Amino acid sequence: MDNQNKLLNEVAERDYRFGFVTDIETDVIPKGLSEEVVRIISAKKEEPEFMLEFRLKAYRKWLTMKMPDWAQLKIPEIDYQEIIYYAAPRQQPKYESLDQVDPELLSTFAKLGIPLEEQKMLAGVAVDAVMDSVSVKTTFKENLAELGIIFCSFSEAVKHHPDLVQKYLGMVVPPNDNFFAALNCAVFSDGSFVYIPKGVRCPMELSTYFRINAKNTGQFERTLIIADNDSYVSYLEGCTAPMRDENQLHAAVVEIIALDRAEVKYSTVQNWYPGNKEGIGGIYNFVTKRGLCKGESSKIYWNQVETGSAITWKYPSCILAGDNSVAEFNSVALTNNYQQADTGTKMIHLGKNTKSTIVSKGISAGHSSNSYRGLVRVAAKAENSRNYSQCDSLLLGENCGAHTFPYIEVGNQNSVVEHEATTSKIGEDQIFYCNQRGISTQDAIGMIVNGYAREVINKLPMEFAVEAQKLLQISLEGSVG
């Protein structure tokens, strides 16, 4: 062991509350994961005791767990000791100017119509000017504060609202839930926190976008959303621009709690770097997202458009615990080249008269593999519950694959579960029809795919929907010759 590691171990074993932070502020944490590293992360973030315990419990559990191997995915071996678990608060800009950035990436930005300053930020170029959104952000925060809405980074929430965090953190995704969730619980660096007070309708779409400008959240992100009785919030995550990241492994956790009659809409557009055309590089996206309809007549909606990442392992789920609660999962997952996705949802009906809907649209092109995996479980006491699932797959070309793995468990006689699945190919006749009206093949494919996904895209907030449409089209460029 080198001297630096020794020193760090010594430091880590000291009590973190005593003037420890200033000691390590400029230090670099070595790669690899150990109990010390977990303690350092917690200490660096000046966390209260309960957070450290939460992390340590998760870490100890993680040590006993194995990476899941049941998904329809080929995952290269990941050496967890090769990863640096504490992302420096501020990443150094990678480039001096946009001229140094991959021109292909820039042309995609241009197609998406992303403002120049934002392009710089996304590509990792030093941003010199003060961005307009800073002032926007301030007014935005003031408006929310007046209503009692808390919308801040996870670290701020731990500092300023520890009671809320302690009460709800891990309520939906406990530290021992699964391998990646346990890892996230142990080492997560930051994320978002939302609390909507009783009876408040959040007047605007909450978007992490406002926050990303201020802070890089790193590869282990944690989101916690709490909607108190009779409240409403629509939350947007992600970005249509292709996000580059040096960290290949991403293991985020999102928890949503909806109390009595509360309604939460969570929309995602995910476009992490998918790797190149030969399947080299790209992000591994192993995400645990789950919502708890805790209160009666509460509602949670997951809407997602996924086009990025080399490997996606993701099942935004809902536990319908409150009587008369409602959950929806609306998803478009597009894979191209050598991307792999194993994604779907779980709907766990516990309360009476609960209702869930699943609409999953898979689109596979190139040599990609796209699987839907969904569980619908109706517990014995969840009387008169209903589920409707529709899982469609669209194939472009001969070398891609689509799979559907539905699991259905119904524990009583008076609930109804319906499942429909279709697989189709983009017809040459459809493309020719478009061509004959003067629409190029590339535009025709974009149009046909968007038509196929329209049901889901229509569920997205307006500005997101427009971007998502462009994104689907761009993601398929070059997929059909």
x/- mask, other proteins, residues 402-431, rule CB under 8 A, reads -------------------------xxxx-
Q: Residue 60 in 3-state DSSP?
A: helix
| Three-state SS annotation for 152-198 | EEHHHHHHHCHHHHHHHCCCCCCCCCCHHHHHHHHHCCEEEEEEECC
Site for other proteins, residues 98 to 127, rule: CB under 8 A: none
| 398 makes contact with other proteins (CB under 8 A) | no
Q: Which of 11, 52, 447, 480 binds other proteins (CB under 8 A)?
A: 447
Phi, psi for residue 210 in degrees, rounded to 5: -65, -30
The rounded distance, in Å, linking the Cα atoms of 8 and 135 is: 40
Question: Residue 380: which of 350, 346, 347 has the closest Cα?
Answer: 350
What's the distance, CA 400 to chain centroid?
A: 24
Instruction: Provide the phi-psi class of 191: left if phi over 0, else alpha when psi is between -120 and 50, else beta.
Output: left
Q: Which of 31, 137, 403, 454 binds other proteins (CB under 8 A)?
A: 454
Q: Which is nearer to other proteins, 10 or 463 (CB)?
A: 463
Question: Which range of residues in 66-74, 220-228, 289-297, 443-451 is near other proteins by CB under 8 A?
Answer: 443-451
Smallest distance, Å, CB 446 to other proteins? 10
Smallest distance, Å, CB 400 to other proteins? 20
- 344's enclosing H/E stretch is strand 340-349
Q: Which of 443, 463, 477, 478 binds other proteins (CB under 8 A)?
A: 443
The rounded distance, in Å, linking the Cα atoms of 340 and 370 is: 6
The rounded distance, in Å, linking the Cα atoms of 191 and 211 is: 9
| 480 makes contact with other proteins (CB under 8 A) | no
Q: Which is nearer to other proteins, 13 or 428 (CB)?
A: 428
| 451 makes contact with other proteins (CB under 8 A) | yes
Q: Which of 433, 463, 477, 478 binds other proteins (CB under 8 A)?
A: 433
| 455 makes contact with other proteins (CB under 8 A) | yes
Residue 319 pairs in a beta bridge with 292, 348
Q: Which is nearer to other proteins, 176 or 430 (CB)?
A: 430
Residue 235 pairs in a beta bridge with 206, 266
Smallest distance, Å, CB 205 to other proteins? 24
| 450 makes contact with other proteins (CB under 8 A) | yes
Q: Which of 252, 327, 448, 472 binds other proteins (CB under 8 A)?
A: 448
Contacts with other proteins, residue ranges (CB under 8 A): 427-430, 432-441, 443, 447-448, 450-455
